[in-house]
């Protein structure tokens, strides 16, 4: 594949090969080695990531940062958060019910739930949450000009130092306070980690909730199956993650040496861009792979392999259990509260977020 800057690299689309590359330490995730597959109208920073931005680092730097954070995102820790998540969801549904139809499900459901959850986790006060959301929306828009992108990053990063100072003086019961007061991280590292966690915990889950609701509304039989058998909720979440795969640009890895991948030589320095969306529809791994089937992961099957929506290997999404929990709680609550929920416009008129780093829908008007 020819990348936007003329770099000659590769595109990987098979589940087997994508999984293999993501677990291979002969490939690097360092920012300074990457080439963008698309033209963003910005100058690419071909230099090491800033301190704390560990998602674009390799071990041992990546390992050091991840170890500081991983205890906050275990299954047990997320289970402890579920009462708070449930309360946030119920508040959103109450507001929807009070306003009456039609409503935009993105504005009233998909965005406020993960925003409130990740802001509570980081201890971001309500007065600042709108600024964070607006700046993040600019940052993930592929059409954003370089000056606007820089301004968005400056806005987001300027919000963290006062938050860090306040938590040093008056710690609150949240993950960010623990990290600030029980680690040796610098303010720059804490700022970048906070910025990264907000983006990962907000944008991805918001789009999964919006796009997931859209997919379920297009498949009412699947909603009925879930309503009659609530034990299918875990399988439903995994199938939506596979079927939708909202990370539609990347991940990317750069070869640190010449590497043979099933007869193809990836030369040192070449970048491989991996299509998770294609890998998650690979018919070699998933029967009838283009069909939404919420029972898929509830059934044993040799070809029914795990999806790659959260990546694979050492860079697998740190917050995946939090995202799963929000989806597992939100979708049943939505369809229980509004059993006759339906789209307020034809499916092909729902505007999608094509020019975004993370795929989703812009608006989802619904009736009940």
Instruction: Return d(Cα 252, Cα 30) in angstroms, integer.
Output: 10
From first to last of its 368 residues, the chain has per-residue pLDDT tens of 999 889 999 999 999 999 999 999 999 999 999 998 887 665 566 788 899 999 999 999 999 999 999 888 888 888 989 999 999 999 999 999 999 999 999 999 999 999 999 988 888 888 777 877 787 777 777 777 878 888 888 887 788 899 999 999 999 888 889 999 988 999 999 999 988 888 888 889 999 999 999 999 999 999 999 999 999 999 999 999 999 999 988 899 999 999 999 999 999 999 999 999 999 999 999 999 999 999 999 775 556 679 999 999 999 999 999 999 999 999 999 999 999 999 999 999 999 988 878 899 999 999 99
Among candidates 221, 217, 212, 262, which has minimal Cα distance to 239?
212
Give, for 193, the enclosing helix (H) or strand (E): helix 187-218
Q: What's the pLDDT score for residue 155?
A: 83
Say if CB 325 and CB 81 are below 8 A apart. yes
Asked if 85 contacts 117 with a C-beta cutoff of 8 angstroms, the reply is yes
* Rounded CA separation 111/105 (Å): 9
Q: Which of 247, 252, 250 is nearest to 272 (CA)?
A: 252
Q: For the packed helices 187-218 and 61-70, what is the interaxial angle rounded to 10 degrees? A: 70
DSSP secondary-structure letter at 296? G
Q: Among 1.10.630.10, 3.40.190.10, 3.50.50.60, 1.10.287.3510, what is the CATH number of 10-362?
A: 1.10.630.10
Q: Phi and psi dihedrals of 30, rounded to 5? A: -70, 135
pLDDT score, position 43: 58
CB 36 within 8 A of CB 3: yes
Residue 6 contacts residue 262 (beta carbons within 8 Å): no
Predicted local confidence at residue 305, as pLDDT: 73
pLDDT at 42: 59
Give the whole-angstrom CA distance, residue 264 versus residue 363.
43
Distance, in Å, from the CA atom of 274 to the CA atom of 27, rounded to the nearest integer, reads 12
Question: Edge-to-edge strands of the sheet including 271-274?
Answer: 10-12, 271-274, 252-255, 27-28
Looking at residue 310, its pLDDT comes to 95
Query: DSSP secondary structure string, 103-115?
Result: EEHIIIIITHHHH
Would you state the structure tokens that stand for residue 285, as one six-digit string?
């791994």
């Amino acid at each position: 594949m020819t990348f936007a800057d003329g770099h000659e690299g590769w595109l990987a689309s098979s589940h087997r090969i994508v999984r293999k590359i993501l677990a291979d330490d002969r490939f690097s995730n360092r920012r300074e080695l990457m080439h963008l597959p698309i033209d963003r109208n910005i100058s690419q920073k071909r230099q090491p990531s800033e301190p704390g931005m560990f998602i674009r680092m390799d071990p041992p730097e990546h390992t050091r940062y991840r170890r500081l954070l991983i205890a906050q995102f275990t299954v047990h820790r997320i289970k402890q958060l579920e009462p708070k998540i449930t309360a946030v969801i119920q508040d959103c549904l109450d507001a929807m019910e009070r306003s009456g139809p039609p409503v935009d499900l993105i504005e009233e459901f998909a965005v406020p739930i993960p925003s409130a959850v990740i802001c509570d986790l980081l201890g971001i006060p309500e007065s600042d949450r709108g600024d964070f959301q607006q700046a993040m929306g600019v940052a993930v828009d592929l059409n954003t000009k370089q000056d606007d992108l820089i301004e968005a990053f400056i806005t987001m990063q300027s919000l963290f130092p006062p938050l860090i100072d306040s938590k040093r003086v008056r710690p609150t019961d949240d993950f960010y306070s623990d990290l600030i007061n029980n680690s040796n991280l610098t303010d720059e590292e804490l700022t970048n980690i906070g910025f990264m966690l907000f983006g990962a915990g907000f944008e991805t889950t918001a789009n999964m909730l919006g796009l997931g609701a859209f997919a379920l509304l297009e498949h009412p039989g699947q909603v009925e199956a879930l309503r009659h058998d609530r034990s299918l909720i875990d399988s439903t979440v995994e199938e939506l993650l596979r079927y939708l795969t909202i990370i539609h640009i990347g991940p990317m890895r750069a070869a640190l040496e010449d590497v043979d991948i099933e007869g193809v030589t990836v030369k040192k320095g070449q970048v491989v861009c991996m299509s998770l969306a294609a890998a998650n529809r690979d018919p070699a791994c998933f029967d009838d792979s283009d069909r939404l089937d919420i029972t898929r992961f509830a059934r044993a099957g040799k070809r029914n392999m795990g999806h790659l929506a959260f990546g694979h290997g050492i860079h697998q999404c740190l917050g995946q259990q939090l995202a799963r929990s929000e989806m597992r709680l939100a979708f049943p609550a939505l369809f229980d509260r509004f059993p006759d929920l339906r789209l307020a416009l034809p499916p092909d008129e729902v505007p999608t977020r094509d020019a975004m780093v993370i795929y989703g829908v812009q608006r989802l008007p619904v009736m009940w």
